[in-house]
Structure 1
Amino acid sequence: MALKDMNLGEFGLEVASSSPAPGGGSVAAYAGVQGYALVAMVCRLTIGREKFAAVQDEMKSLLDLAETKQEMLLSLVDEDTEGFNCVMAALGLPKSSEEEKNLRRKALENATLKAADIPLRTARECLIGLSKLPSLLDKGNPNALSDMGVAALMFKSGLEGALYNVQINAIGLKSSSRKEALLAECQALRSDGNSLFEECQGKVLEGLK
């Protein structure tokens, strides 16, 4: 069964099992799913209310985006586990001869790149979610302030968790140029994410006074 088709209890048990996958990368992607789910909820609590007539089109557009991103991140929950399994399969290739060793090295490098790219996509999607929250906090239904705050936390957790997984895979790469490119993007995504999260948290805490 695909991870995205499991109920919450089943997914939790699967993560808790002795199998190393699904692990942190899949959980990070699911954190992003939850962030966008909360964004969608706030949009629905804002749409159709006369008090927020001026932002109806903006909220509808954001709702469409949130629903699309939810589906994308749900797919990444499964893809992250598949990426890990590809690395494990490459590690299991024979290495008796020099030819086998070369083939194994190439397969492992390609699998590791794939395993790094998947959480990198998760991180990018979570950053997009964070970037939408300051405006939602200003214009969305203020009764859902705490929900928007939790959305920010989910996006931040998904972003940071995904970056951990990019970095641990980058360590195993032989290509220094690819490794450096991945780590440079991680640094940029983390910096942008930290700034956006601080902005969101400031708005939430101010509103909760």
Structure 2
Amino acid sequence: MTDNTTPIWQHRLSDFRDTVAREPMPGCGAVAVVSADLGLALVLKGLHLSQQHDATAPRQALIDEGESLKQRLAPLAREDVEAFEVFMAAVGRDQDDEERSDAIHTAAASAVEVPLKTAQLCDAALALAQQAGEHIEQQFVSDAIAGARLIHAALHGVLLNVDANAGQLGSDAARDRARLSRDGLAHRAEMLLAAITASAPA
């Protein structure tokens, strides 16, 4: 079983899986980050192995961008856990606590910000996967498309956290902004995945 002091990425995969199956946290946000990171790794696999066979500057630029995205995605798994824990602590405060409402609004802002940030990086990873298509050799295309589908699923999974928590934001304007961002990211993900799969060789 995992614990709350060790970074998620240092746990055995089987321990992470079993904790997800039995404990409140990590939840869908952290699982989405892990899934997206693995999906991006599959896209990078196609680029790295193709680069080994025939090195090009455009392909290397995509590899560098993908590696940067991977490093930025990984910490969001822990950030999601922390945001959820703070949110649940705020919700669990005594109903008579005058500061409870403010605490919930503040915690909800993080509980929405982290999944939106995750979805934005998933969006960037999908855009990278689309650009990478013409730079990946045929034998690695199935890996890259599988990776893109994982990233796409992760993006939609993490947006469920936005749906769940946006209602607790402190103003109509904040709720509208969150939902507008959520809808834009979901729509763009559909367009990117459709482009990726349409360009794949039959």
More helix by share: 1
Aligned counterpart for 1:13 among listed residues 8, 13, 18: 18
CA–CA distance in 2 between the matches of 1:117 and 1:176? 16
- Give 1:23-172 correspondences, 5 Å limit: 23-50=27-54, 53=55, 56-96=56-96, 100-101=97-98, 103-172=99-168
Structure 2 partner of 1:182: 178
Give the residue type in structure 2 aligned to 1:165. N
Q: How big is the shift at 1:191?
A: 0.9
Give the residue type in structure 1 aligned to 2:44. A
Give the residue type in structure 1 aligned to 2:143. D
Deviation digits for residues 54-77 of structure 1, max 9, x if unmatched?
Answer: xx1122122122222222221111
Question: TM-score scaled by structure 1?
Answer: 0.89
Asked if structure 1 preserves the Cα contact closer than 8 Å seen for 2:47 and 2:135, the reply is no
Question: TM-score scaled by structure 2?
Answer: 0.92
Three-state SS of the structure 2 residue aligned to 1:48 is helix
RMSD: 1.4
Structure 1 partner of 2:3: none
Q: How big is the shift at 1:181?
A: 0.2
Question: Aligned pairs, how many?
Answer: 197
Higher CA-based Rg: 1
Three-state SS of the structure 2 residue aligned to 1:156 is helix
Q: How big is the shift at 1:125?
A: 0.5
Asked if structure 1 preserves the Cα contact closer than 8 Å seen for 2:36 and 2:122, the reply is yes
Q: How big is the shift at 1:109?
A: 0.4
Three-state SS of the structure 2 residue aligned to 1:22 is coil
Give the fraction of aligned pairs with identical amino acids, expressed as a percent.
27
Asked if structure 1 preserves the Cα contact closer than 8 Å seen for 2:66 and 2:128, the reply is no
Q: How big is the shift at 1:189?
A: 0.7
Unaligned runs of 5+ in 1: none
Asked if structure 2 preserves the Cα contact closer than 8 Å seen for 1:46 and 1:141, the reply is yes
Aligned counterpart for 1:200 among listed residues 184, 196, 199: 196
Give the residue type in structure 1 aligned to 2:174. R
Q: How big is the shift at 1:32?
A: 1.2
Asked if structure 2 preserves the Cα contact closer than 8 Å seen for 1:32 and 1:122, the reply is no
Deviation digits for residues 184-203 of structure 1, max 9, x if unmatched?
Answer: 01111111110010111122
CA–CA distance in 1 between the matches of 2:162 and 2:146? 24
Deviation digits for residues 158-204 of structure 1, max 9, x if unmatched?
Answer: 11111111111102224110000000011111111100101111223
